[in-house]
A = this chain, B = another copy of it.
Amino acid sequence: VAKAIKEVSKSLEMSFSIVPDDTDAIQCKLREWSDQGVALILTTGGTGMSPRDVTPEATRAVLDLECAGLMSFVTTECAHQQPLASLSRGTAGVRGQTLIANLPGNPKGVGEVVPLLLPLLLHAVADLQAEQ
């Protein structure tokens, strides 16, 4: 993920954390980082359709505002080339001053999503910070 993101934006400060496929663990980390005022949190993985894929639900539960249309646009654009991209259930939205978005776990999927998604996320982050 970091590699795909660095190709788009080289100036970001980044932290990483690996959390288990567990609703509480995911929500806890999202709350911790958003409460610290992190501008953007990207999750990767847990967006499929097996019982352990709980990332979208865990994310939605901590969001103040969901922006379903953002992932819907990006997924639809990617699915136009690769229809299986439509099986990814990721969402995006805002918690406090933090933008959160779910990337797929598959590195190929991330490589397709990030070039389209990241400029939009950075625009939304700039808008959110201009509000303060």
Q: Tell me if A6 counts as interface (CB < 8 A to partner B).
A: no
Give the residues in chain B near A71, CB-CB below 8 Å.
Answer: 69
A-side binding surface: helix, strand, loop or mixed? helix
- Residues in B with CB closer than 8 Å to A57 are 65
Cα–Cα distance between A77 and B79 once the two chains are bound (Å): 10
Q: Which residues of chain B are near A72, meaning CB under 8 Å? A: 68-69, 72, 75-76, 86
Contact between B120 and A83, CB atoms less than 8 A apart: yes
Asked if A53 and B74 sit within 8 Å, CB to CB, the answer is no
Cβ–Cβ contact A65 & B87, under 8 A: no
A94: nearest chain-B partner, CB-CB = B49
Q: Which residues of B are found within 8 Å of A94, using beta-carbon distances?
A: 49
Q: A21 in the interface, Cβ–Cβ < 8 Å?
A: no
Residues of B within 8 A of A131 (CB): 50-51
